[in-house]
């Protein structure tokens, strides 16, 4: 299945924009509705493309509230939103700037951004890194 194309392709200077975005959130703490894994991934996409895949969803301040906001907007999960905008790609073939899902302790996958051999993810204290091999799914950001 081919994803909907509502997000423009990456801008010519996407790499510089992605690096600046990651630096801007590096010390920002995880907070639902402000900077959680879905908003982190959406922010990276917006930095690289100028398009916001979660525009109009929210507001919320908890995981439950975020899932309810997604449901009200017609989505089942953050991965559902990603899958509507971007085509899946084997995790081994994901490129820098693509979106990756990783397992987390709450039983739901967390979204991160492929950054070479690692995946940039949010931790309670700010930006963290996981080995790329921990990705369970990936989507190509064109």
**How far is 139 from 142, CA to CA, in rounded Å?**
9
| Closest by CA position to 90, among listed 58, 50, 135 | 135
CATH tag for 14-140 (out of 3.40.50.2000, 3.40.920.10, 3.90.1720.10, 3.90.1150.10) = 3.90.1720.10
Q: How far is CA 4 from the centre of its chain?
A: 17
pLDDT digits (tens, 9 = 90+) for 69-120: 999 988 888 899 899 999 999 999 999 999 999 998 667 799 999 999 999 9
Residue 2 — pLDDT band, cuts 50, 70, 90? low
Residue 124 pLDDT: 85
């Amino acid at each position: 299945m081919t994803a909907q194309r509502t997000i423009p392709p990456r801008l010519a200077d996407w790499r510089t924009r992605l690096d600046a975005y990651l630096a801007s959130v590096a010390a920002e703490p995880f907070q639902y509705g402000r900077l959680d894994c879905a908003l982190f991934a959406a922010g990276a996409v917006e930095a690289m493309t100028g398009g916001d895949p979660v525009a109009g969803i929210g507001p919320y301040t908890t995981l439950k509230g975020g899932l309810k906001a997604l449901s009200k907007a017609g989505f089942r999960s953050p991965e559902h939103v990603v899958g509507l905008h971007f085509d899946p790609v084997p995790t081994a073939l994901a490129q820098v700037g693509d979106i990756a899902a990783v397992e987390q302790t709450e039983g739901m996958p967390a979204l991160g951004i492929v950054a070479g051999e690692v995946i940039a993810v949010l931790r309670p204290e700010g930006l963290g890194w996981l080995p790329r091999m921990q990705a369970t799914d990936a989507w190509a950001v064109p």
